[in-house]
Amino acid sequence: MTHDPGLPLVPRVIDWFAENARDLPWRSPDRTAWGVLVSEVMLQQTPVVRVEPAWRAWMAAWPEPADLAAASTADVLRAWDRLGYPRRALRLQECARTIVERHGGRVPTEEAELLALPGVGSYTAAAVRAFAYGRRSVVLDTNVRRVLARTAAGAALPGPSQTVAEVRLAESLVPADDATAARWAAASMELGALVCTARSPRCDACPVADLCVWRTAGYPPDVHASRRRTQGFAGTDRQVRGRVMALLRSALEPVPLDEVEAAWPDRAQLTRCVDGLVTDGLVTVVPHPGGPDAGPPTYRLPH
């Protein structure tokens, strides 16, 4: 498709999206609001390639909020598997129970009601309104922030924290009518995910390259680079917690203490991480039936 260079940012990105959008199951015509909500929770800090098979399995097991609300917590955590940050799974189940109790099992449409759900913040509420219900909302995730920072502000990357100015800019670009606004939300997000990427932007494939202030300025470097902190995974508490969760997910019976302790060589770090998992409601300690003097406890996923 050819474009008039005079076209503004929004229509051009929407036109690009019509030809380049990925075929994702939560975008299909028969999608449900619950399916969209599940996808948005799963996609937080997790790439699409890992989410898609997990989402399909999840929706097959629990196609409605009531199904997830009635599931055992252990089954929910096993289904979450390696998506990371398993507290999201618990919050999603809490969310499902709240939807059943307060909204008759139907995902609400209004922003205030969505924000009142466990684990739903401003981005997720806006995304559900746009992608599930086709309503006008300001959908501002990392991808959209990056697109707007480059095209409108001339910055290599947005700042570490979202600002009022960013929200105002994003709001000013959202089309007035619901359908076009929802399309823009999806299109701008897709552009950031596929073309205007953080490390290797494909400016040659960008439909608005000639409108991009960052490109016109000669690609100035990231002014926030010194404030960004990237932590490796190896040796972190996240890795330890992940190993313990993987051990418990694979076990049909409670796991003895010595097997848990074998999951990580640093005993102090392991103890801290297991205690944290217990506090977060992700692991249950089962005392020895004969009492503490009779033997050590075992560990399992919550029922």
Q: In the annotation, is 110 catalytic?
A: no
- 131 with 25: CB under 8 angstroms? no
The dihedral through the CA atoms of 54, 59, 64, 68 has a sign that is: negative
Rounded CA gap, 176 and 159, in Å? 27
Show the tokens assigned to 219. 């690609």
Helix H segments across the chain?
A: 9-20, 33-42, 48-61, 65-69, 73-80, 87-103, 111-115, 122-131, 142-148, 164-173, 178-194, 213-216, 237-249, 257-261, 267-279
The catalytically annotated residue of 19, 40, 52, 253 is 40
| Closest by CA position to 62, among listed 80, 48, 44, 50 | 80
Residues that are catalytic: 40
